[in-house]
Chain A
Amino acid sequence: TQLLEQSPQFLSIQEGENLTVYCNSSSVFSSLQWYRQEPGEGPVLLVTVVTGGEVKKLKRLTFQFGDARKDSSLHITAAQPGDTGLYLCAEASNTNAGKSTFGDGTTLTVKP
């Protein structure tokens, strides 16, 4: 089973600060997804990255996929309280499309 390690596990910052969270794998990703989960709800997809070196932007969120496709990062500029939540990276298996693996998540708290 592919292991996904996310860091940091917890992050508490003030509104307006920038932050980066990371997702690293023990092997090459076929593709990688980032989800955000708010309390009492299921995760919601933010982005899918597929190509090594790919950069995607979603308003104040920037997602990068490492050249070697073994790591990814999520950068948030000028964080807002509404960004508070659990950020999860996830990947479908290279060899078995039905199996999916999620990282342990980064819990982000943005204080007003």
Chain B
Amino acid sequence: EAQVTQNPRYLITVTGKKLTVTCSQNMNHEYMSWYRQDPGLGLRQIYYSMNVEVTDKGDVPEGYKVSRKEKRNFPLILESPSPNQTSLYFCASSLAAGANVLTFGAGSRLTVL
């Protein structure tokens, strides 16, 4: 089944404890992207990747890092999480950037205490 898989789905952590949210797609998509969703703010883009080893900032990149060493994986790294990073995170992929269909993961709900 074609899908985007995120892990963990739920995580409660404490300020400053590094964490990684993994994202993997099995569709050979070139483009991948991370978003955070907060009440009343819709989806805001954190980082995106046009292809392997090519990443760029979205609208809200502060406090996050990403890497794209393989085509299928696009992990989101929070080096020193803070409470304002408590949010619902979505990873998405598409064949290429632009008007192509985005396939989303099921989301990762992160709480930083």
* A residues adjacent to B (C-beta < 8 A): 1, 4, 6, 9, 30-31, 33, 35, 40-45, 48, 50, 88, 90, 92, 97-105
Q: Closest 5 interchain pairs by CB?
A: A42-B104, A97-B97, A102-B43, A104-B42, A31-B99
What string of 1s and 0s marks CB contacts (under 8 Å) between B72-96 and chain A?
0000000000000000001010001
Question: Given A98-B56, A99-B58, are A44 and B104 also a contact pair (CB < 8 Å)?
Answer: yes
Query: Nearest chain-A residue to B92 (Cβ)?
Result: A42
What string of 1s and 0s marks CB contacts (under 8 Å) between B5-45 and chain A?
00000000000000000000000000101010000111111
Give A31 to B99 CA distance when docked, in angstroms: 7
B50 A98 Cβ-Cβ under 8 A? yes
**B interface size (C-beta, 8 A):** 28
Q: Tally inter-chain residue pairs, CB-CB below 8 A.
A: 73
What A residues does B99 contact at CB under 8 A? 30-31, 33, 48, 50, 92
A92 B106 Cβ-Cβ under 8 A? no
What B residues does A99 contact at CB under 8 A? 45, 48, 58-59
B42 A88 Cβ-Cβ under 8 A? yes
Question: Given A33-B99, A50-B99, A97-B97, are A103 and B42 also a contact pair (CB < 8 Å)?
Answer: yes
Taking the nearest CB of chain B, how far is it from the CB of A52, in angstroms? 15
Taking the nearest CB of chain B, how far is it from the CB of A69, in angstroms? 13
